[in-house]
Structures are given as structure tokens and as C-alpha cells.
Amino acid sequence: MAFTPEGLANLRAGLERHLAQGYAPGVVAVVSRGAESHVLPLGTRAVGGSEPMQGDTIFRIASMTKAVTAVATLMLIEDGKLRLDEPVDRLLPELANRRVLRTLASPLDDTVPARRPITVEDLLSFRLGWGIVLAPPGTYPIQKPIADLELAGFGMPNPARPYGPDEWLRRLGTLPLMAQPGEQWLYTTGSNVLGVLIARASGQALDAFFQDRILGPLAMQDTGFSVPASKLDRFCPEYMARDGKLAVFDPATPDSPWTRRPQFLEGDAGLVSTADDYLAFARMLLAGGVHAGSPLISEASVKAMTTDQLTAAQRAGGAMFLGPGHGWGYGVAVVTEPRPDGQSVGTYGWNGGLGTSWISDPGKGLTAMLLTQRFFDSPDLPAIHKDFQAAAYRALA
């Protein structure tokens, strides 16, 4: 099964229609199957700019970072430095002896003891008991201390956080859990806890471990937690919708916080990357953890990572983020029901709220990735991404 010229032309035309309607100044689209891949840069890097989008343009991939963090964790499990079922207390004593809010609406002192410790698997599967509260500020008592503590892992990525990993975990540890460990799927915070855990278990900073074990071996030379000055000319601005127009959120100039190594390396959303780089990562997963004939991670670990780990109730509770017919593995969403756009059960991937999306379908060997420089307006995947993914399936012969 290959891509048809007509299908690729229709895919391109669909993206061009969205650009013409002003969704974003440009995109980089990727479709890949086996040895065949197509990287399609369209439009310009900036609103009103003349520089065309390029295949090596650097994007903020936000929550697509989670899959890299999950792979790093599974590597340490294979190394024997962590166990999937072990409590995190050994390396993260700040999270021992947890208290849990009686209900989400309870005041912070209305708690009960945690029935069991948080485990490594709880972090991977986002069932540790902390996560984003999708409600207006002030709806629940716990929202104020989260905001006052400026805690990463409860909102948008921010490379300018004024603390390091130990201080972040200390601040987090002052809060009660929102749910008993293992009970609810709550979005994103678990990947930041994993970032601290990876550093402590490996004895390396998170970016150093990523570089040594994942980014370096996969030749992901443009992926990291910041953009060096030598590559700033390939970094695109970031936009968000405001009053019907695209307003600059980050200008991609030397003043951008993404041009400096953060004090806190966000394991949930901190990476920048390119189409080619992330495609190398996606291909490695589709190949069962193998790259260039050498295994980076075992096939069994990839299988666990890309298998839905949630109960029906947990999937329902996370539907605002996951969407219908999706569960969660380790760092990726997993399709659990046949979809009209062509995605097979077992298709996995995730999106970055700063404008990116990725799916890989093991049943059809397909990877489809779309990188844009526009904020998502809601947790629902924007139409340009949905249309692109459906067109990628239609492009298959």
C-alpha cells in the first residue's frame, strides 16, 4: 500500500484551503508508510512574512513531548533502575504519605489518607491523582494554590518557570491529591513528575538523558528544550486567535523564552522539534523500538506504551481531552473503537496544544503528522488537523 498522486494532491489542496481561510500562515505536513514518506511544507513561517515554510522549520511540539518522556521512563525500567509497579516514594519522597481531597470541591484541609502510594505506572497512565481542572478559576478551592505556586503541569507550557525540578516537586508536594491513586485519569501532570523521576533515577538532567538515549541515537538534531541562536532563523513564531485575527504569542526572536534552557524541563510539554526529527521517533515506535537495526527499547515496552490502560469509567472521565473512542497508554492516546476517518483500533499518538498533531496506525503502517504555529482554541482537535488525518488515509492506495 502506497500513497497515490491524486490522494497526495487532495491532501495538499485541503491544507491550502485552511491556510487561505486564515487558520495559520503555514504548516508542515508529513505522511509516511514504510520507506515512503512525504514532507509537505506549505505557506509561510510568519503572518505577513515572505519566508516560506520549510521541512526543517522548528516548532514548539508541546504535549507531543509526553511520548518521549514515556519512552525514557520505559528505558529506565528495562535498565532495572525503576519498576512499573513500585511506589515512587524511594526516589520522590516528597510524594510519600499522600492526603487526598474528600471531593474536588472540598477545602484543602478536608482530606483522607491515600489508600496506597503513587506508582510509576500511575505516572505513565496519568492516574496519580493530580491533573488539569477544566473549570473557570475559583470554581474549586485547589485551583488557587496551584496558581499561586505557579505550578507547571496544570496549564500551558512556560519555559520561564522560576524554579528547578526539586523546587517544583517540593511545591507540588504541599498539595493534596485530587483523587485516589489509580482511580481517575487526570491530564498532563504525571509527565512532569516523570521528568523529575527520570533525572533522579538516571543521575542525569532530563535533557541529557533524552540526548544520550533517544535524541542522539535517532539523529534528532533539532529537538530539545530550547532553540540555540544558530538555529533561530528556522524557528517559527507562535500565534493565537484574538478578536478574529492571529496575534503573536511568541515572536521567535532572541527574547523568546524558548531560546534559553529552562530551569524546569517540562516532561509534559517542553520540547521543540522538526518534522524529520519527530518522524524518526514515530518510525522507531512503529518498528517495535528498533532504529537502524538496533533496538532502543523493547517491543514489549512499545506494546505496553501503545495499549489502552484505562477502564471505561476512566475513559469517560477523560473524554474532554481524549475525545470519543480513545483511551490512554503511556504518554499517548490510543484508539479503542473504529473511526469513520479510517483510523484503526490501536492507532496511537497525541497532539500539542501549541499547534501540532501526530498519529501512527500500526495496522496500516501509517504515520501522519501536522505541525502548525497556531494555538488550539479548545481541547478539541482543530478541523485542519482532523481533515488532514482523514485525507492521509484517503491518500493510501
What confidence tens digit (pLDDT) does each residue in 282-300 have? 999 999 999 999 999 999 9
DSSP-derived 3-state class of residue 338 = coil
Distance of CA 187 to the CA centre of its chain: 11
DSSP-derived 3-state class of residue 40 = strand
Q: Cα–Cα distance between 185 and 333 in angstroms, integer?
A: 12
Which fold would CATH assign to domain 5-68+207-394? Beta-lactamase (3.40.710)
The three three-digit cell numbers of residue 111, written as one number: 482530606
Strand partners, 52: 44
Contacts 24+ apart (CB under 8 A), 340-343: 341/386, 341/389, 341/390, 341/393, 342/390, 342/393, 342/394, 343/389, 343/393
Q: Cα–Cα distance between 361 and 376 in angstroms, integer?
A: 23
Residue 363 Cα distances to 19, 55, 152, 223, 343, angstroms: 31, 27, 36, 28, 9
Q: Cα–Cα distance between 309 and 119 in angstroms, integer?
A: 14
Closest CA to 109 of 145, 80, 137: 145
pLDDT at 397: 83
pLDDT at 1: 65
Q: Has domain 70-205 been given CATH number 3.40.710.10?
A: yes
Closest CA to 264 of 322, 187, 206: 206
pLDDT at 244: 87
215-250 b/e (C-beta count within 10 Å ≥ 16 → b):
beebebebbbbbbeeebeebbbbbbbeeeeebeebb
DSSP-derived 3-state class of residue 334 = strand
**3-class SS letters over 144-161:** HHHHHCCCCCCCCCCCCC
Provide the CB-side half-sphere exposure for 329 (13 A, CA): 24
Residue 129 Cα distances to 95, 169, 298, 310, angstroms: 11, 15, 29, 14
Instruction: Give span(s): CATH 3.40.710.10, the chain.
Output: 5-68+207-394, 70-205
Q: Cα–Cα distance between 320 and 186 in angstroms, integer?
A: 11
Residue 133 Cα distances to 11, 141, 233, 317, angstroms: 36, 11, 37, 12
Name the stretches of the chain with pLDDT < 50: none
pLDDT at 255: 94
pLDDT at 38: 97
Q: By CB neighbour count within 10 A (0-12 exposed, 13-18 middle, 19+ buried), where does 115 fall?
A: exposed
Provide the CB-side half-sphere exposure for 235 (13 A, CA): 26
pTM above 0.85, yes or no: yes
